[in-house]
Structure 1
C-alpha cells in the first residue's frame, strides 16, 4: 500500500465530540494556549510536521488549522501512529500521509512527499525532515527538533535556518525523559507480553535521563536491574541508584529483558545479538527504531507471536522483539498512552511553531539553537500553577 493523503473517515471510528472533549480536558495546557493561537491570522503559512501521530497531536495542530495554516503531516516512526488520530486530523483539513505499520518504503515516500514543497516552519522528531529540507535547498523560517537521535543526525550538517532544540530544555530532560518514558514503558511491555517483571534480570543500555527512568520503574516492579553505559560517571550514578553495572557482553549473557535507551543507531548489532541469552526479550525506548538491528534479525526465521511481538530463531536460541524495535511506550493500539503526561511538551511544540511563524525567532542564527527560555517558562509556570 502506497502512503497517501488520507480521505476523511478512511477508517472506522473517527473521533466524536465527546472523545475530543475528553482529549482537550486531559491536555489543559496545550488546549489553553491553542485556544489563543486559533484566533490568530496565520493564513498563507505552511507547516510541515514529521512526528509521532497520537491523540495529543490533535491538540497541537488543530489551532494552526483554525488560524489558517496549511498543515502537512507524516510520521517519524512506522509503529506509533494512532490511525484514528490521523483520520481525525485529515477530516479537519490536515494533509496526512500516515497509517499504523507503514513499511520502510512508505515511510521514505512520506518524507519525500513532505520535502517536495517548501514550508515556513518544520516540526521534526528524529532530524530526518530537517536534514532533507536543508539538502533540498529549502529555507524555512525555522524548525523544531525534539530528540537526542535527531540532534545526533544534525551534528556537523550545515543547516541554513535556525533549529530550536527542545530536547535539551530542563523541562523535558527533568520531567518527560527522566520520568514519563519509564512510567509508560513497563505497562506497554506487560500489555504486549503478558509478563510481569518480578525477579527478571533487566539490562538497560544507556543511562541518560530516559534510561534512568526506565531502570527506576523496572526496579520498583521487582526486576533485578543492570546498567550498561560507556560513561563511567553514569555507572557510578547507577550504582548509587541501586542498580548493578556491567560490561555489555557479560550483561547480555544473563539478561531476560534488554532495553536500549541511547538515541544512537546500531547499539545492538550482529555481534551483540549473537550473544544474548535464550528467551531474551528485546525492547527499545530510544527514538531511533534502529538502535536494535532489526534488519539483521529479519535474516533469521521468525514468527509473529502476537501483536507487537515476534520470535526469532538465532542458531538454536529463541529471541523476542517488541514493536519491531520502535519505541515500545508508543506502540500503537495498546490503549496505555497518557496524553496528560505529554501535555506540557505538546504546548512546547505549539508555542515554538507559533514563535517561528510569527517572526519571534527571525533574529536567531542558523543551525541548532536552544529553545527560547521565555516560552519554556510559560509552559513550566502553567504546569506548576495549573493555569496557562
Structure 2
C-alpha cells in the first residue's frame, strides 16, 4: 500500500538542521532513537496512530532503521503537519495522514492500517486498537496515550495486552497538567492576535488538562470560570481561584470557551445556541468532536484567517471556531513554545515500543495494564540527568 499524503515535495521543508536541533533539545528521545536504530527488528510490524508532526520523525524512523515495517496514521484529522508526513513517507514509513481529512478519509485510514496483522500498536485515541480487536487480529501488545483512548479501550473485550501510559505520573501530572497549556495559549495568541488580560474564559472540564489551561489563563490575566460536573473537581477549581458555574451560564457570559474533557458531544446545537455574541471556541481535548462542528457547518460561515472560521447563528450573533475544533495546541504551522517538553513523551513512546518489540509483554494476559513503572522511572531519571 502506498502512502496517502498531501504532497511528497513538502518533505524538503524538513531540514537536517531542524532535526539536528531537535536532538539537542530532546536528548533522551535522541539517545533512545540511536539505541533502537542499531537493533535488528526485521520481521516486526509496528502500526501507529498518532499526531503526525515533526516530533513524530525521531520517534518512528529509528524503527525503520532497525529493519521494522512501520505504518502511521493521523489520530486527528486536523493536526497533521504535511511536511512531516511527506518526510516520513520519503524515509520508509507507510503514512496515511494529511491535513483536512474528511470523516470518510479518516475512517478509511483506520481500516487500511488495521487490515493486516501487526506485532505492535501505538495508539492515541483507542480507535486503532478497537479496529484490531473487531477484526480479530492478535498482536504482541499495544500502547494507549490519551484519556479518550482509555475510555474507549476499557469498553473492549481485549484479545491482547494494552498498556496505558495516559495515567502514568509523567503524562498525567506533567504533560496534561502543565505542558498542554504551555503550548495552547501561545498558539491561541498567534492564531487570534488576542492577549488574555481582562478577557473572560470558560474552561469546560477540570481534569489535569483543564486545570492546567485554567491556571495558565489566570496567570496571563484572564478572568476564569470552570464548568465541571464532578463536585470534587469543582471544589478543587474554586481552590485554584476559579469561579464554578453551570454550563449554560458559562456559555452565556464568557468570551472564550475551552473544551477540555476528552469526550464527544460536549457542545452540541443546544449549547452552541447559548453562546454570547462573538464567543471564541477552542478545544484542547483529544476528541475533535467535543464541539459539534458538523452542525456549525450547516450555518453560514466565513473563513477569517488561518485556523479561524466565523459562523452566523442568526439574530446578529456570530461565533468563532479555532482549528476546526481540533486540539488548538497542535494547530499545524502555528507552533507554541516549549518543544523540549515533548522529550519525555517521545521517549515514553519509543521506549514502550522497543520494550514490546523485545518481548516485554509476553508474560501479560490480554487486558488493560499500566505502562511499566520501571520504564517510567528510567525515563524520568534520564530526563533529570539531561537537565543537570
**What TM-score comes out, normalization by structure 1 length?**
0.96
Secondary structure class of the residue paired with 1:59:
helix
Taking structure 1 as reference, are residues 244 and 8 closer, same or farther at Cα in structure 2, changes over 3 Å only?
Answer: closer
Alignment partner, residue 66 of structure 1: 65
Alignment partner, residue 373 of structure 1: 373
CA offsets 1:232-252 (integer angstroms, 9 cap, x no match): 111111111111111111111
Distance 1:7 1:99 in 2: 5
Distance 1:22 1:88 in 2: 17
Whether the aligned pair in 2 keeps the contact of 1:227 and 1:244 (CA below 8 Å) is yes
Instruction: Report how many residues are paired.
Output: 386
Q: 1:195 deviation in Å?
A: 0.9
Distance 1:336 1:131 in 2: 32
Distance 2:86 2:286 in 1: 24
Whether the aligned pair in 1 keeps the contact of 2:282 and 2:322 (CA below 8 Å) is yes
Secondary structure class of the residue paired with 1:80:
coil
CA offsets 1:131-173 (integer angstroms, 9 cap, x no match): 0011011111011100000111122210111111000001111
Q: 1:11 deviation in Å?
A: 2.1
Secondary structure class of the residue paired with 1:386:
helix
Distance 1:373 1:350 in 2: 15
Q: 1:76 deviation in Å?
A: 0.4
Whether the aligned pair in 1 keeps the contact of 2:50 and 2:123 (CA below 8 Å) is yes
CA offsets 1:82-129 (integer angstroms, 9 cap, x no match): 111111111110111111222222111111110111110001100100
Taking structure 1 as reference, are residues 162 and 202 closer, same or farther at Cα in structure 2, changes over 3 Å only?
Answer: same
Distance 1:183 1:89 in 2: 27
**What TM-score comes out, normalization by structure 2 length?**
0.96
Secondary structure class of the residue paired with 2:49:
strand
Alignment partner, residue 107 of structure 1: 106
Distance 1:196 1:72 in 2: 40
Whether the aligned pair in 2 keeps the contact of 1:45 and 1:120 (CA below 8 Å) is yes
Distance 1:369 1:172 in 2: 15
* 1:91 counterpart = 2:105: no
* 1:295 counterpart = 2:294: yes
Alignment partner, residue 122 of structure 1: 121
Whether the aligned pair in 1 keeps the contact of 2:258 and 2:283 (CA below 8 Å) is yes
Taking structure 1 as reference, are residues 8 and 41 closer, same or farther at Cα in structure 2, changes over 3 Å only?
Answer: farther
Distance 1:233 1:206 in 2: 12
Question: 5+ unaligned residues in a row in structure 1: which ranges?
Answer: none
Alignment partner, residue 80 of structure 2: 81
Distance 2:386 2:22 in 1: 17
Alignment partner, residue 183 of structure 1: 182
* 1:282 counterpart = 2:296: no
